[in-house]
Amino acid sequence: MKLSRLALLASVLPLAAHAAGNDPLELSPTIITRATELKNPAPASVAVITRQQIDASASNDLLDLLRGQAGLQIRDSMGDGNRAMPSLRGFGENSTNNTLVLVDGRRLNQPTLAGPDLNSVPLANIERIEIIRGAGTVLYGDQAVGGVINIITRTPRQNEAYLEASRGSHDLEAYRGHVNQQLGAGFSLYASGETRNSDNYRDHNDGNYSSAFARLRHDHANGHLLYEYQTVDDELLYPNALSRAQRHIDRQFSDSQAWFDSKTQVHRFALEQRLNDTWSLNFDYSDSDQDGVGSWGPGSEFSQDTRIETFSPRLTGRFDNRLGRAEWLLGHDHITSDYENRAAWSDTLSRQTLRDWYTQFSQTFHDDLTLTLGYRASEVDDDNHGLDLEHRDREGSTSIGLSWQIERNLRAFIKREDVLRWANVDENAFTAPDVVFLKPQTGDSWETGIEWKDARQRYQATLYRLALDNELMYDPFATGPYSPWSDGANINLDKTLRKGLLLEGERQLSGALSIGGQYSFTDAEYRAGSFQGKQVPWVSRHSASAHLAYQILPGLRGYLETLYTGKRYYSGDDSNEQGQAGSYTLFNAALRYDYRQFDARLRLNNLTGKRYDGFASKTSRYPAAEEDIQLSVGYRF
């Protein structure tokens, strides 16, 4: 039997495991939407990565945590992890704007084709991660098509300080730390910082990254208010792609001269205020400003400026009636994005304004059945200042779902929701000559699932169907604005359909041992047009993972993980004529040791040195790193 089949088998073994234990498995049922806590059961497929699981994995970054999650695949368009993007519901090469990433309700997604900066959230700052799989348009708005990754940061309640140093493969050197200080009278201050330098796996791929974060918070009897500031300095050399022949000779080779340096500043103000026993008010305001300069080679220098201003008030009511518990959420999103790209060959000056009103009402009947109804009214204004063009469009989205607590440990759900994604400022600025503004991406999502859990174990099975019209995507072979000198344009695709199955399980076998795993089947295909019946490129039909966490000695924990990625068609091969990238299995291992104020983490990724591509098209390859090791040592004051 081949190793890949063994990996598939190992991923579902936890579903059949039966053993007694003493310590409970920590499972958090709380769902946070835009920093507003919802109490009633959500009719959705949700996975929660707790702080306990983050520590047990000894992960170095968010990607380490996300790679093994059910239904989630990683699109690493450079092969080094610096610009990697998680994909939910089978979007593959088109994942960047179809999975929404939030930090305490603030969007990390950009109004461009650049993905969210996952490096901007240090793992030490995270309390838990909620992965809401499936459409989230009504609650979360634009880009929540395949799902939402919601990162909730920690709010320490006692004074502490922490310093950590890391060394690793490819001359990695990193230093990070944080401090929390209770100031009295309800005030507290939290600050963190990180600096990281690495040559990375490929030639011409040096990266220098630094960030600083500060939060001033005031808690009072009826809520809290806070101010946050973050600054990020990101400098990265791009190795660019290799041909198959080049990769065969030297996987690390690069003759690129491309680079990009950016500086980002984010201000955020938020408050939560309980108005009375029924109603509470949440308010968020954030302003993000990113300035960048870069080059694709001599004579192709460019500059970018992206500013995003978000205003989001929400009102939540919770009350009992004759039927049971009810919850009513009303909210407004106002997002203004200004994008400027200046280069020798063209200038792009665009503004996009999103104005959305949304509401969701959930009613529980007899404590076991919850009906959820939602609606969002969305409006977009697109202004292309460079071409002096304006455009306005409106769409409405609905959702309906049922969550049924069949018995104490068994829950089932079903949900139907409209999905919506607007073309962003980058996409509308680079279209075919006969297209002025792209159509919005719309569709409908169905999902149903069943979950069984208690204090020691959790098992879940989910089925879904996502049908899209006018899916937005960059086509490198389309007639673009610079044809016939060069091809490529953002387009609306023919109709697409994604169907799938998720199986996952987690069990605490004893006080020292826990295991878990998942298997995902993803069928993504075109359902109209010249590619009807063909598979969507760079989406694996089969993926799986399994992990084991073990308390070896007091204070010493071990972690083993295997990740399987099945075959998939190369990016851009919509006709499925170029063969498939082969399947592969990766093995990772980690040790974590805690002694009084000291802790140490040793993480080894790709133990067997498997050679695979982080991303690949019909003509190019982005080789991923082979063995990778990182040691981190920290001290808590």
Please tell me the predicted confidence (pLDDT) of residue 565: 97
| CB atoms near residue 367 (< 10 Å) | 9
pLDDT at residue 223 in the model: 95
Structure-token pair, residue 436: 């002025």
Res. 215: pLDDT tops 70: yes
Q: What is the largest CA-CA distance in the chain?
A: 73
- Strands 99-103 and 147-153: what pairing? parallel
Give tens-digit pLDDT for 584-610.
Answer: 999 999 999 999 999 999 999 999 999
* pLDDT value of residue 39: 76
Residue 554 preceded by cis peptide, ω within 30 = no
CB 432 within 8 A of CB 480: yes
Contact (Cβ atoms closer than 8 angstroms) between residue 474 and residue 487: no
Q: Give the pLDDT confidence score for residue 75 in this predicted structure.
A: 84
Name residue 521's beta-bridge partners: 501, 542
Which whole number is the average pLDDT over 57-67?
91
Amino acid at 273: Q
pLDDT (0 to 100) of residue 359: 97
Question: 310 with 304: CB under 8 angstroms?
Answer: no
Task: Say yes or no to pLDDT of 440 above 90.
Answer: yes
Determine contact, residues 175/194, Cβ cutoff 8 Å.
Answer: yes
- In this prediction, residue 5 has a pLDDT band, given cuts at 50, 70 and 90, of very low
User: What gap in Å lies between CA 160 and CA 353, rounded to an integer?
Assistant: 42
Token pair, residue 363, equals 């009613």
Predicted pLDDT of residue 590 = 97
Reported as a single tens digit per residue, the pLDDT across 119-128 is: 898 888 999 9
User: Domains, the chain, ranges and CATH?
Assistant: 157-636 (2.40.170.20)
| C-alpha span between 624 and 410 (Å, rounded) | 41
Q: At 121, is the secondary structure helix, strand, or coil? A: coil
Of these ranges, 10-14, 429-433, 435-439, 581-585, the one predicted with the greatest mean pLDDT is: 581-585
The pLDDT tens digits for 477-535 are 788 887 777 788 899 988 999 999 999 999 999 999 999 999 999 999 999 988 899 99
| pLDDT for res 494 | 84
Query: Mean pLDDT lowest for which of 6-10, 247-251, 257-261, 458-462?
Result: 6-10
Residue 621 pLDDT > 80 = yes
Q: What is the pLDDT of residue 112?
A: 86
pLDDT, one tens digit per residue, over 27-41 is 444 555 666 777 777
Q: What is the pLDDT of residues 373-412, one digit of tens each?
A: 999 999 999 998 777 889 999 999 999 999 999 999 999 9
Tokens of 83: 């610009």
pTM above 0.85, yes or no: yes
Cα–Cα distance measured from residue 476 to residue 465, given in angstroms and rounded to the nearest whole number: 28
Three-state DSSP state, 585? strand
Q: Would you state the pLDDT for residue 32?
A: 59
Strands (E), 242-386: 258-274, 279-295, 301-320, 325-343, 347-365, 369-384
- pLDDT of 55: 92
Q: Summarize the confidence of residues 158-171 as an average pLDDT.
A: 96
Sign of CA dihedral 279, 153, 230, 357: negative
Q: Given a cut of 70, is residue 24 above it in pLDDT? A: no
| pLDDT attached to residue 111 | 87
User: How much is the average pLDDT of 284-302?
Assistant: 95
Average pLDDT, the chain: 90
Q: Which residue has the higher pLDDT, 478 or 263?
A: 263
Burial letters 106-118, b for 16+ CB under 10 A, else e = bbbbbbbebbbbb
Mean pLDDT, range 328-341, rounded to an integer: 95
Structure tokens that stand for 485 in this block: 């000198």
In 3D space, the residue among 118, 146, 119 whose CA is nearest the CA of residue 131 turns out to be 146
Q: Is the pLDDT of residue 17 over 60?
A: no
Q: How far is CA 259 from CA 207, 234, 239, 378, in A?
A: 10, 11, 9, 37
- Ranges of beta strands (E only) in 67-186 are 72-75, 85-88, 99-103, 106-107, 126-133, 147-153, 160-168, 172-184
Rg of the chain, C-alpha, whole Å: 24
- Predicted confidence at residue 33, as pLDDT, reads 63
What confidence tier does 22 reach under pLDDT thresholds 50, 70, 90? Answer: very low
**Per-residue pLDDT, 422:** 96
Q: For the purposes of burial, counting CB atoms within 10 Å of the CB of 171, is it exposed (0-12), middle (13-18) or buried (19 or more)?
A: exposed
Q: What are phi and psi of 53, to 5 degrees?
A: -70, -35
CB burial class (10 A; 0-12, 13-18, 19+) of residue 344?
A: exposed
